[in-house]
């Protein structure tokens, strides 16, 4: 397409709202347009790249046995109430009412809708397995949307759902989708890592997150170079410190003025932080948002609490817990902010990290201002209502598989696969009959890809100081022809010749025939990130042009015929990822 007739507008200045490269560059390149916080529209060039990603997804999903459908983003509350998620999903669920006061939501995901389809359409084992998917706009009312397409309130997602007769069938469907995801993200040009992940509000027994490695990513990954262990820090299991066989010493209350932090009390008493116990205080809420009791969670003083593990241990939704008001909780339970320990605590759920029962003679708060208790031991002095792993696997901690030091990386979640099992089929009555006419719940899997987030992840991994560097497979156009002097008949004729030849060869090409200064055109070409640039300038009279790949610094002079042939070759070689 010729730039003189295209709708695009680039920005020279960095938008004030933008913080990370993908957000900055997509706005500056005029590929996305902000409507309100967390809601973006796609302009022509950005939409072309979105469609390229969608095409890759469709090709791999179809090749893997998926069948595409398209369901409404508006979902009736009754289906979510059947599954139990109407209240459990939390405030991110975008609720609305119609004129008849009937409750609906804007779908953040479609488990209920697809389960409803299958329970009405499938009755026999002969109709299984099945995989249905869609590519559609989703909605989550994020409290703090940020980073452009990375955490937005409206986004494009591919969600697929597999339906099998048993767990063995689910395992096979899961494997097929897992492998398809690897091909999809490879073709999109991403460097990624599949890691074990928490199922969150989706639910199910097992999940893997596909994470595009990036320092600006919100996902934190713990991985081991000595074995295959890799998991989000939310999911990563921890190895408890070796249990001690020290003799249990008598408890001793000590005056510790002004020591309301672990660091302060450890310094004051000359202890290592691992010899102390840390308390974190929470309030729970019921489905109506009313307070529903208190929680005191305890981990070793040198550890960090893993909130996801705590929520899972309590078997409550993530939104149903918050840090407690210490004064109110103290009146009910005897805790004291900064000086809380498990001894004497009452009327609350006590959650103890699995490491603590094996540790001896720890220092804990005395539930008394400016006082701690030394030599606190599990079993003798306190017990927990729940004892389980609730700590974060820290960088350098031993790998839970092989014991080697764990390393950390950051990444962007671009996809996730879940083994749902019978969570939705049982609650919503999706059953099939086997060969003996016995009824069984359909076994389900769920598989999501953030299409618009994948676009942002590609830009995060492929850019430099001058702009985007698109992989050929998802670039809005393959080639940009930069015409230096549109009014020069020779240059214009050469540019048109290249343009027509590339179009005839199936190459997607932009012809920058705008009446702009050469510097503006070069800057725009770099900002837009089109993979290949052919510059038509003074050498056109001699049949010569300049050929340059966006990812390389080198420029090469070629004949017009050589440039056309080389462009066709490299586009055909790289366009399919």
Residue from 546, 551, 530, 534 nearest 478 by CA: 530
Q: Is residue 284 part of a domain?
A: yes
The position carrying tokens 């897992």 is 178
Question: pLDDT at position 200, please?
Answer: 58
Indicate the residue among 388, 403, 430 that finishes a domain: 388
**Residue that finishes a domain, picked among 460, 477, 498:** 460
Residue 30 lies in a domain: no
Q: What is the CATH number of the domain that holds 315?
A: 3.90.960.10
* 49 within a domain of the structure (yes/no): no
373 in any annotated domain: yes
- Does residue 204 sit within a domain? yes
Residues 383 and 422 grouped into a single domain: no
Q: What is the pLDDT of residue 199?
A: 58
pLDDT tens, N- to C-terminus, the chain (577 residues): 999 999 989 998 888 888 899 999 999 999 999 999 999 999 999 999 999 999 999 999 999 999 999 999 999 999 999 999 998 888 899 999 999 999 999 999 999 999 999 999 999 999 999 999 999 999 999 989 999 999 999 999 999 999 999 999 999 999 999 999 999 999 999 999 999 887 555 555 578 999 999 999 888 899 999 988 988 888 889 999 999 999 999 999 999 999 999 999 999 999 999 999 999 999 999 988 899 999 999 999 999 999 999 999 999 988 899 999 999 999 999 999 999 999 999 999 999 999 999 999 999 999 999 999 999 999 999 999 999 999 999 999 999 999 999 999 999 999 999 999 999 999 999 999 999 999 999 999 999 999 999 999 999 999 999 999 999 999 999 999 999 999 999 999 999 999 999 999 999 999 999 999 999 999 999 999 999 999 999 999 999 999 999 999 999 999 999 999 999 999 999 998 7
What CATH number has the domain bearing residue 159?
3.30.930.10
- Which residues, 6 or more positions from 450, have their beta carbon under 8 angstroms from its beta carbon? 155, 156, 157, 413, 414, 415
Q: Are residues 428 and 561 in the same domain?
A: no
Residues 305 and 426 in one domain: no
Q: How far apart are CA 241 and CA 405, in angstroms?
A: 14
- 122 & 204 share domain: yes
Residues sharing a CB contact under 8 Å with residue 274, sequence separation 6 or more, in sequence order: 241, 300, 301, 302
Domains in the chain, number: 3
Crossing angle between the packed helical segments 451-461 and 44-63, to the nearest 10 degrees: 110
* Residue 239: exposure state from Cβ atoms within 10 A (0-12, 13-18, ≥19): middle
Q: Which tokens go with 165?
A: 């007769």
Residue among 301, 398, 314, 381 nearest 350 (CA):
314
The residue assigned the tokens 């409290």 is 143
Residues 328 and 452 reside in one and the same domain: no
Tokens representing 216 are: 């600006």
Q: Tell me the residue range of the domain where 357 lies.
A: 252-388
Separation between Cα atoms, residue 21 and residue 527, nearest integer Å: 12
Going from the C-alpha of 46 to that of each of 40, 231, 456, 476, 530, the distances in angstroms are 11, 32, 10, 7, 12
Quote the pLDDT of residue 317.
87
Together in a domain, 114 and 183: yes
Residue 237 lies in a domain: no
| Contact call for residues 110 and 422 (beta carbons, < 8 A) | no
Choosing from 353, 388, 423, the residue where a domain stops is 388
1 within domain boundaries:
no
Residue 406 lies in a domain: no
Whether the CB-CB separation of 39 and 77 falls below 8 Å is answered with no
Instruction: Assign residue 534 the CATH number of its domain.
Output: 3.40.50.800
Please check whether residues 205 and 115 belong to one and the same domain. yes
Both 179 and 308 in one domain: the answer is no
Asked whether residue 483 falls in the same domain as residue 454, the answer is: no
In the chain, the N- to C-terminal Cα span, in Å, equals 23
CB under 8 Å to 465, separation ≥6 — which residues?
none
Rounded to whole angstroms, how far apart are CA atoms 337 and 344?
A: 14
* Contact in structure between 480 and 451 (CB atoms under 8 Å): no
Q: Where are the beta strands (DSSP E) in 48-141?
A: 67-68, 74-76, 94-97, 103-106, 130-139
Look up the pTM and report it. 0.89
Could you tell me if 72 and 193 lie in one domain? Answer: yes
> Domain check: are 193 and 102 in the same one?
yes
Residues 375 and 454 in one domain: no
């Amino acid at each position: 397409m010729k730039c003189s007739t295209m709708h695009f507008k680039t920005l020279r200045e960095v938008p004030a709202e933008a913080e990370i490269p993908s957000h900055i560059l997509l706005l500056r390149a005029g590929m996305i347009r902000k409507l309100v916080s967390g809601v973006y529209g796609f302009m022509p060039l950005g939409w072309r790249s979105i469609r390229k990603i969608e095409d890759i997804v469709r090709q791999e999903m179809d090749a893997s046995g998926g069948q595409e459908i398209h369901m409404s983003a508006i979902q009736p509350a009754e289906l979510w109430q059947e599954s139990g998620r109407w209240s459990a999903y939390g405030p991110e669920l975008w609720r609305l009412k119609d004129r008849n006061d009937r409750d609906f939501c804007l779908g953040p995901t479609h488990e209920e809708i697809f389960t409803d389809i299958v329970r009405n359409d499938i009755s026999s084992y002969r109709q299984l397995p099945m995989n249905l998917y869609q590519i559609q706009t989703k909605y989550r009312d994020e409290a703090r949307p940020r980073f452009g397409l990375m955490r937005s309130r409206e986004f494009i997602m591919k969600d697929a759902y597999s339906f099998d007769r048993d767990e063995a069938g689910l395992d096979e469907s899961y494997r097929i989708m897992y492998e398809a995801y690897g091909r999809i993200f490879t073709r999109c040009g991403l460097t990624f890592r599949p890691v074990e992940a928490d199922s969150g509000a989706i639910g199910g027994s097992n999940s893997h997150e596909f994470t595009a490695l990036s320092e600006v990513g919100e996902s934190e990954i713990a991985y081991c170079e000595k074995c295959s262990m890799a998991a989000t820090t939310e999911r990563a299991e921890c190895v408890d410190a070796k249990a001690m066989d020290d003799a249990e010493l008598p408890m001793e209350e000590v005056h510790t003025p002004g020591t309301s932090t672990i660091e302060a009390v450890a310094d004051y008493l000359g202890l290592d932080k691992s010899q102390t116990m840390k308390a974190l205080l929470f309030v729970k809420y019921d489905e109506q948002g009313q307070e529903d009791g208190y929680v005191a969670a305890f981990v070793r003083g040198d550890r960090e609490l893993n909130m996801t593990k705590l929520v899972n241990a309590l078997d409550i939704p993530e939104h149903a817990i918050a840090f407690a008001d210490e004064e109110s909780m103290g009146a009910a339970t005897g805790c004291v902010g900064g000086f809380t320990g498990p001894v004497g605590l009452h009327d609350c759920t006590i959650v103890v990290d699995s490491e603590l029962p094996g540790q001896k003679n720890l220092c804990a708060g005395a539930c008394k201002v400016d006082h701690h208790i030394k030599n606190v031991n599990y079993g003798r002095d306190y017990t927990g209502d729940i004892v389980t792993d609730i700590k974060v696997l820290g960088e350098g901690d031993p790998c839970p598989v092989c014991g080697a030091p764990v390393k950390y990386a950051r990444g962007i979640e671009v996809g996730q696969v879940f083994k749902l099992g019978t969570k939705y089929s049982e609650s919503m009555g999706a059953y099939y009959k086997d060969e003996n006419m016995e009824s069984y719940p359909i076994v389900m899997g769920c598989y999501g890809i953030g299409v618009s987030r994948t676009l942002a992840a590609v830009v995060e991994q492929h850019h430099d100081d001058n702009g985007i560097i698109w992989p050929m497979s998802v670039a809005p156009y393959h080639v940009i022809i930069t015409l230096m002097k549109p009014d020069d008949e020779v240059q214009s004729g050469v540019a048109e010749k290249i343009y027509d030849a590339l179009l005839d060869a199936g190459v997607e090409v932009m012809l920058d025939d705008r009446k702009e200064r050469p510097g503006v055109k070069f800057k725009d070409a770099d900002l837009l990130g089109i993979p290949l640039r052919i510059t038509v300038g003074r050498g056109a009279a001699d049949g010569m042009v300049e050929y340059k790949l966006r990812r390389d610094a080198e420029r090469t002079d070629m004949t017009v015929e050589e440039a056309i042939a080389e462009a066709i070759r490299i586009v055909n070689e790289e366009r399919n990822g």
